[in-house]
Amino acid sequence: MPPLPDTGALTLNIATPLRLQSQGHPVPPDRLRPRTLFTALLRRASLLFELHAAALPGIAGEAARLAASAERLTDERHLEWKDWTRFSRRQQREMTLGGVVGEWTLIGDLAELLPWFWLGQWLHVGKNATMGMGRYALTW
């Protein structure tokens, strides 16, 4: 990992639809929260570490504390909902998928969270991340 800046703000430039869900339903742009994003990212990273590295990098007991830290962040959003369709060969039908795209700036104490957000650029986050959804790039 490269040296990360000591910054109080970072912007996620969301390139492919980011679809976060709550109780089985997509979360619209106006209801997104930094904690929702961070917990989804932490869940994805944890599953990938467990599956491919057979270990968690010291976060098993830290997840609740990190999520609480994410909850204290404030944010500025320039997001819009974008739907796209794909054909499922298995189901033999078109499927409509969607999520938010645009810029999402997170502001606050990012010291412990920044490495996870940095990692998320390559892991993607949210529903259908394995199909390329939830891709973002960071700017400070």
Q: What is the pLDDT of residues 7-37, one digit of tens each?
A: 999 999 999 999 999 888 999 999 999 999 9
**Domains of the chain, start order:** 9-139 (3.30.70.1900)
Backbone angles phi, psi at 28, to 5 degrees: -70, 160
Q: Measure the CA–CA gap between 50 and 57, rounded to whole angstroms.
A: 9
**Count of all residues that appear for the chain in the document:** 140
Average pLDDT, the chain: 92
In the chain, what's the furthest Cα-to-Cα distance? 49
Its pTM surpasses 0.95: no
- Least confident range from 3-7, 103-107, 114-118: namely 3-7
Residue 15 host element (H or E) = strand 9-18
Q: What is the pLDDT of residues 39-73, one digit of tens each?
A: 999 999 988 888 887 766 666 678 889 999 999 99
What residue type is assigned to position 99 of the chain?
G
Q: Measure the CA–CA gap between 65 and 29, rounded to whole angstroms.
A: 25
93-107/9-18 β-pairing:
antiparallel
Q: At what angle do helices 63-71 and 34-53 cross, to 10 degrees?
A: 150
